[in-house]
Every structure is written in structure tokens, then in C-alpha cells.
Amino acid sequence: MGVKERYQKVDAELAEVCRANGRSRSDVTLVAVSKTVGPDAVADALEGGAHDFGENRPDGLMQKADLYPQAAWHFIGNIQSRRIHDIVGRATLIHSLFSEHHARKIDQVAGERGLVQDVLIEVNVSGEESKSGLAPADVPAFLALCENLPHLRVRGLMTMAPQGDLEVARQTFEGLAQLEEQLRATLAPDRAEAFTEMSMGMSEDWREAVAAGATIVRIGRAIFSDTFEE
């Protein structure tokens, strides 16, 4: 199987898992995480019907987003201040915001360019030390700060689950869904309307994420690696 076929296989299974959970396929965006592959593999995925791609480095984002502007490009990696001008405007959605300094800089650059940048707040639900993101208790204050930045629009939350235990992954995703619901209740109606996204689930745990309400899954190896085994 090539990239095109693997993309279509994941896409078909996603439709099945949505159905099994009483959800609509159109409620979940499948982001093909192309961070480990070159432009040719992106072309294969596009041929298979992919529309959304994820990159974790500004250089990969710039190269591929500029080659394939017909796709939507998501930035899912570590944000560095000095690269923010390369990400703003190019990324449809920045998934990995959790610092005040970065929030202010993204707002500033977006303002200079006359646009509003969509972002997600990354949350470290599991508390694993190796994971980045805010502790759940720190999210309300950070969201309030972001809501005051006119060129930033917070669309929801993002998390990564610990690897290797699907039960722990399920609890992590349910934790994010609970937090999202609590936060939405605190927002003004027009802001709550935009605060709908939950980016969670990767190659091994996306089924648990969809069951917990993910609106975006980020899948890399299951699409792009020919050695990936469930």
C-alpha cells in the first residue's frame, strides 16, 4: 500500500468510527501529519483526498504550504518567538499555543498583517513531565488573556495522550472534553460559538479520541509510514 491508499484506509475507518459513536464524519477533520515526509508524499495524500496537513517545524510548513496552497496547513509543533512571523497567516490553525509571550507576539504579527490567527491552547491533561502545554488549572486565566488579544481567535484545545496505554489515553481525552465544556460555559455567546475544536488523537489512539469528542485528529505514521503496525 502506498500513501494514497493508506490515507483512504484511515479516512474510511474514521467514517466507521464516527458512525459507531453516533457522530458525523464531517464533524471531524483528519489532519495528515506530514512532518517526516517530503513534498511527493504530500502529493500522494492529496491524490487520496487529503485536504488538511500538519507540520511541526516552520521550515517544513513554509516549504510544503507554499508548494500546496490548495491544502490547509496546521502548525502542531513547538513555537519559537523568532519564527512566529513564518507561521502566522500560513498556518490555518496553530495547535500548540501555551505561552503568554507567544500569544502576544502572534497577536502582534497578525495585527501587522491585518488578519486574525486561529489558535488552540495546548493542555497537558495527563501531567506527564515530558509533555508540553498548560496544566488544566492554568487554562482559564490564559484563555481570558487570549480573549483580550484582538488578532488571536481561540478555537478550542489540543492535547497529546501518554503513549502505550489506551485506557490512559481515553481518560486524557475525556479530561480535555470536560475542560472544554467548562470553559465554553464561561465565554460570551459569540466567543463560545468559535470555541468548538478539540484536537486530540494520533495514529495509535485516534479512535479513543473520536469517542471522547475530538473534532480534529492528527495522524502521521498510519498514513505516511509503510512500517506502521497497529
Ligand X SMILES: *Cc1c(COP(=O)(O)O)cnc(C)c1O
- Using CB under 6 A as the criterion, which residues of the chain lie in contact with ligand X when the complex forms? 33, 35, 56, 76, 160, 202-203, 218-222
Taking alpha carbons only, the member of 165, 168, 120 closest to residue 146 is: 120
185, 204 contact by CB (below 8 A):
no
Taking alpha carbons only, the member of 134, 127, 124 closest to residue 160 is: 124
> Residue 68 or residue 75: which is nearer to ligand X going by CB?
75
Cell of 226: 509503510
> Residue 56 or residue 172: which is nearer to ligand X going by CB?
56
Nearest distance from C-beta of residue 134 to ligand X, angstroms = 15
Nearest distance from C-beta of residue 29 to ligand X, angstroms = 13
> Residue 117 or residue 199: which is nearer to ligand X going by CB?
199
75, 59 contact by CB (below 8 A):
no
Nearest distance from C-beta of residue 54 to ligand X, angstroms = 6
> Residue 180 or residue 205: which is nearer to ligand X going by CB?
205
The H-or-E segment that residue 176 falls in is helix 166-186
Nearest distance from C-beta of residue 4 to ligand X, angstroms = 17
157, 194 contact by CB (below 8 A):
no
Residue least distant from ligand X (Cβ): 220
146, 121 contact by CB (below 8 A):
yes
Nearest distance from C-beta of residue 116 to ligand X, angstroms = 23
Nearest distance from C-beta of residue 46 to ligand X, angstroms = 18
- Kindly state the DSSP code that residue 213 receives in the 8-state scheme: T
> Residue 33 or residue 149: which is nearer to ligand X going by CB?
33
Taking alpha carbons only, the member of 80, 24, 91, 98 closest to residue 55 is: 91
- The DSSP string of 118-165 is EEEEEB-SS--TT--SB-GGGHHHHHHHHHT-TTEEEEEEE--PPTT-
> Residue 151 or residue 221: which is nearer to ligand X going by CB?
221
Q: What is the dihedral of CA 131, 137, 141, 142, to 10 degrees?
A: 10
